[in-house]
Amino acid sequence: EVLSILGPSGSGKSTILKLLAGFLKPSAGEITMLNKLISSNKLLIPTGKRSIGLMFQEEVLFPHLTVYKNVAFGINDIKLKNKDLIIKKYLKSFGLLNLQNSYPASLSGGEKQRVSLARVLITRPNILLMDEPFSSLDKNLRTDICDYTIKILKKKKISVVFVTHDVSEAFRISDRILVLKKGIIEQIDNPENIYKFPKTKYTAALVSDINKFEGLSNKSGLIRTPFGNIKCTNCSSNSENTCFGKKHSCVIRTSDLFFSKNGINVKVIEKHFLGSCWEYKLFINKDFPILKMLTINNLPDDKQNIKVSIDLNKILIFDA
């Protein structure tokens, strides 16, 4: 599977990869691979003996070696028959055969990534650790190279631990996503569940653009919002009503709001064109926060008073 570790800078993503790779020794706990202990505060199996491949954000090709010799480097110390045929096979499968005598300085960003990937995979690792390896590429090339890479890894059945802060990239390639906050796992699940059913407000804010507001639950476990009452399942299932008057954090995704004739009255106070959509800032009343809404619909500039709505089931509720 492809497991992505998702989190902002400083959350511990790269540190986890360094621990898995053997660059750092854990101060506590253990790391096992295929039921074999490879790291603890008393043991550290060297990186070269872990059958782990590494692809990092930084440039890692040897500038003084040709493409052929860069790819060959991974198996230089291994006794293999037909080594040249094996190298040529990898060069061909990665579309690098015509570049085998070129040096890294003459390659494009995408070509360099393919050379790096071929050099890693020729060693036949059990697991590949990838630390934002495509972040230096422009957006379109990044998507193409990323898709190409993951396709090859899936075909070769190589497990991947992929570190990124790019949410769309994580959703695109992952079988599971691990959401990290200051070294603590907030949630681990498949991409769809991470988006639809975030367990914390932190996860919801990390994977989508959101509006936040607070509300109090009544004796029936209902929280009043301008769009209607929503039910807190924890409160409504609590027979002793200990949630009565409890403050909750409510989250509305900016993309879940929509224009509706049956919606509530709001006033447009700002409007911005973002390319693929329009962003509106909406005023409801002085007691409610300004809402941000993203939509493909463009309203006339002079139309300030409109109606908007939301499916109440899409309002997320968390403890304050």
Q: How confident is the model at residue 55 (pLDDT cuts 50, 70, 90)?
A: confident
The token duo for 292 is 């941000």
The answer to which of 39-53, 86-100, 237-251 has the lowest mean pLDDT is 237-251
Residue 108: what pLDDT?
86
Q: Do residues 23 and 47 make contact, with C-beta atoms less than 8 angstroms apart? A: yes
What is the per-residue pLDDT across 118-159, written as a single tens digit (0 to 9) for each? 888 888 888 999 988 877 777 777 788 788 888 888 888 899
What is the per-residue pLDDT across 183-205, written as a single tens digit (0 to 9) for each? 999 999 999 999 999 999 999 99
**Average pLDDT of 270-279?**
94
Would you say residue 36 has pLDDT above 90? yes
Q: What are the DSSP calls for 277-313, one per residue?
A: SEEEEEE--TTSPPEEEEES----TT--EEEEE--GG
What is the per-residue pLDDT across 302-316, written as a single tens digit (0 to 9) for each? 888 999 999 999 999
How are beta strands 176-181 and 184-189 bridged, if at all?
antiparallel
Query: Tokens 């509720």, residue?
Result: 317
Would you say residue 247 has pLDDT above 90? no
Question: Mean of the per-residue pLDDT values for the chain?
Answer: 89
Going from the C-alpha of 284 to that of each of 28, 210, 249, 266, 295, the distances in angstroms are 51, 16, 18, 5, 18
Q: The pTM is what?
A: 0.84
E strand or H helix that includes residue 127: strand 127-131
Would you say residue 239 has pLDDT above 80? no
Going from the C-alpha of 217 to that of each of 123, 181, 198, 243, 252, the distances in angstroms are 58, 28, 21, 7, 17
Query: Tokens 């769809």, residue?
Result: 192
